[in-house]
Amino acid sequence: MGRIRERMEADLELKGFARSTRKDYLLRARHFVAYYGRSPEQLGETEVREFLLHLVQERGVRATTHRMYVAALKFLFTVTLRRPEAVAAIPWPKIPRTLPDILSGEEVERLMSVVRSLKYRALLMTAYGAGLRISEACTLEVGDIDSKRMIIHVREGKRGKDRYVMLSPKLLDTLRLYWRQSRPKGRYLFPGVFPTAPITPSAVQKVLKKAVAAARLTKRVTFHSLRHGFATHLLEAGEDIRTIQKLLGHSSIQTTARYTNVSRRHIARTRSPLDMLGTPAARAFG
């Protein structure tokens, strides 16, 4: 893509997109250009439609992947090429609303116990104990852990928003043990191969995949499962949903409310209107 790639990368940065999102958008745009072997300036709505149909019909990409391609191409044509008419009629794919598998408390403990590396175990405990996304956990800095106020400063989360989350005393003990053992150099709490750079999400995902197999978990487990577990277990423990919303960094309460659909205890505590018939509470029904 040459100069257009450079322009798109600059546009993404100016718009404030996260580094991982910028990388993903550029990759999807490159796939599109490589498919035709021509400059995107020579392509338009017809080519975009044909490419997306190729992805869905021939490659069988999932709806979430399809949506990412649509987002990347809309950005490329609308912002970088300034040709919004080329993608204005391209529809957004409908994403199926599936419920995630939620690990039980015992399963979380089992998963943590099989991770031999203290560094990776501390990172996974941080993700579950504070409800962090993988990018947030990997880029935590040493100064983000405030043991005096018992909070963690999460910097530049989704959409570039900062937030504070609780620092678990149990997690703090593990982080102190990890610090004494490893003494990480540089600013990052969990550095990668080079001390000046954070650990990569791919490295963490590889360790997690091995841990899931070692723990013999049959549920579908991803790094985000730890965040799902954090939210669901707080809800089941009686925490207010708006507090959970703030801890997760959700802009909309509707995003957080989906955890009420996967919390068995929350569902079990909900009183059926059948049980209210014939009681004063039934007056609300008219």
Could you state, in order of their start, the residue ranges of all structural domains in the chain? 3-86, 105-268
Instruction: Compute how many other C-beta atoms are within 10 angstroms of the C-beta atom of residue 1.
Output: 18
> What is the distance between the alpha carbons of residues 263 and 230, in angstroms, rounded to a whole number?
11
**Catalytic residue, candidates 67, 163, 250, 258:** 250
Does 97 participate in catalysis according to the annotation? Answer: no
Tell me, yes or no, if 128 is annotated catalytic. Answer: no
**Pairwise pLDDT comparison (1 vs 58), residue with the higher score:** 58
Per-residue model confidence (pLDDT) at position 263: 67
Tell whether the model's pLDDT for residue 153 goes beyond 80. Answer: yes
Query: Which residue in the list 66, 74, 227, 228 is annotated as catalytic?
Result: 227
CATH 1.10.260.40 fits 105-268, yes or no: no
Residue 246 in contact with residue 216, Cβ under 8 Å?
no
Given a cut of 60, is residue 286 above it in pLDDT?
no
Beta partners for residue 164, in sequence order = 153
Single out the catalytic residue among 66, 133, 228, 233. 133
For 118-151, write each residue's pLDDT tens digit.
Answer: 999 999 999 999 999 999 999 999 999 999 999 9
Q: Kindly report whether the global pTM for this prediction surpasses the value 0.75.
A: no
Q: Would you state the pLDDT for residue 267?
A: 59
- The fold for domain 3-86 equals DNA polymerase; domain 1 (1.10.150)
263: Cβ–Cβ under 8 A, 6 or more apart, which residues?
A: 102, 232, 235, 236
Q: In the predicted model, what is the mean pLDDT of the chain? A: 89
Annotate 54-118 with DSSP letters as a single string.
Answer: IIIIIS---HHHHHHHHHHHHHIIIIIS--GGGTTTPPPPPPP-PPPP---HHHHHHHHHT---H
Catalytic site residue 163? no
pLDDT tens digits, one per residue of 48-74: 999 999 999 999 999 989 999 999 999
Catalytic residue at 133? yes
* 54 included as an active-site residue: no
Question: Tens of pLDDT along 244-280?
Answer: 999 998 888 887 887 777 666 665 666 666 566 577 8
Amino acid identity, residue 255? T
Of these residues, 158, 210, 258, 266, which one is catalytic?
158
Residue 1 near residue 40, CB atoms below 8 Å: yes
The pLDDT of residue 160: 67
Structure confidence at residue 195 (pLDDT): 87
pLDDT over 70 percentage in the chain:
91
Active site residue 246: no
